[in-house]
């Protein structure tokens, strides 16, 4: 089965449309979203509605949780907190209900999908280092866990150095992996192109897809909505 794994859309409709248009050409069997449909960006309702129509499953992210008033935003920076409050004020009741029912994880066969970490994903911890990844892998039942949250694409193998390259084969019958799929709506690896993952569940083939999109249009909309200018500026920097 060929799947597309997307994450951290953050209300960036231009980026999401670009990603979905490309995914449709890849003949995938499923689209799985790892959460953070909303937050930061200017088009939350449109993004949620597109995900409702196109994703096989969408998971709960920390910004989705915060918009629902279920996560304490005191640990958010001021820009994120302001965006959460604005997003909460504009989401339709139907889209709020959709977010409210998102699960924290999805597991199937050898594969686990979460927003943050394999264990207790509702705690919203990050995986940045090989040591963190391996500590989680010791307790993982599945062979591969796909995560988002940090917005930084990376592959963490159980017995090798972590890496980021366009294509690879994950030997998941030999070792475990944690794969961060990056971000569609707000990349933070100093590359402004959106990022998502294609994965073949039989062969282990993995590809990070990077696509240019009109981030200037999203930046203009952020400013038009009265959201913090920093949220517009960072899109051009990929940070």
Instruction: Tell me what pLDDT residue 50 has.
Output: 98
Q: Which residues in 199-224 are b (16+ Cβ under 10 Å) and which e?
A: bbbeebebbbbbeebebeebbebbee
Tell me what the mean pLDDT of segment 165-180 comes to.
98
Alpha-carbon distance 217 to 225, whole Å? 12
Task: Please tell me the predicted confidence (pLDDT) of residue 187.
Answer: 98
pLDDT digits (tens, 9 = 90+) for 180-238: 999 999 999 999 999 999 999 999 999 999 999 999 999 999 999 999 999 999 999 99
* 2-237 placed in CATH 3.60.21.10: yes
Distance CA 198, CA 235 (A): 23
What is the model's pLDDT at position 75? 85
**CB contact set of 171 (below 8 Å; sequence gap of 6+):** 204
The reported pLDDT for the residue numbered 74 is 87
What integer pLDDT is reported at residue 78 of this predicted model? Answer: 96
> How much is the pTM?
0.97
CA 230 – CA 228 distance, rounded (Å)? 5
Where does the chain have alpha helices with state H? 13-24, 44-54, 62-67, 78-90, 93-100, 130-137, 215-224, 229-237
Provide the pLDDT for residue 101.
Answer: 98
108-157, pLDDT tens digit by residue? 999 999 999 999 999 999 999 999 999 999 999 999 999 999 999 999 99
> d(Cα 177, Cα 133) in Å, to the nearest integer?
8
Write out pLDDT tens, residues 34-76.
999 999 999 999 999 999 999 999 999 999 999 999 998 988 9
């Amino acid at each position: 089965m060929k799947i597309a794994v997307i994450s951290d859309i953050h209300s960036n409709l231009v980026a999401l449309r670009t990603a979905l248009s490309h995914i449709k050409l890849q003949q995938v069997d499923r689209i799985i979203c790892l959460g953070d449909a909303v937050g930061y960006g200017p088009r939350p309702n449109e993004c949620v509605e597109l995900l409702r129509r196109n994703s096989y499953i969408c998971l709960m992210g920390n910004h989705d949780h915060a918009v629902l008033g279920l996560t304490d935003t005191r640990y958010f920076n001021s820009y994120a907190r302001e965006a959460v409050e604005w997003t909460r004020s504009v989401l339709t009741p139907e889209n709020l209900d959709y977010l409210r029912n998102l699960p924290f994880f999805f597991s199937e066969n050898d594969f686990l999908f979460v927003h943050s970490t394999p264990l207790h994903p509702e705690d919203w911890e990050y995986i940045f280092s090989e040591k963190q990844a391996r500590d989680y892998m010791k307790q993982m039942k599945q062979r591969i866990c796909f995560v988002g949250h940090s917005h930084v694409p990376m592959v963490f193998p159980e017995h090798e150095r972590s890496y980021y390259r366009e294509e690879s084969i994950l030997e998941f019958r030999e070792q475990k992996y944690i794969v961060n799929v990056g971000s569609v709506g707000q990349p933070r690896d100093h590359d402004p192109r959106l990022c998502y993952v294609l994965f073949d569940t039989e062969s282990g083939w993995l590809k990070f897809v990077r696509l240019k999109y009109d981030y200037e249009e999203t930046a203009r909309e952020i400013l038009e909505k009265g959201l913090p200018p920093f949220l517009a500026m960072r899109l051009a920097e990929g940070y």
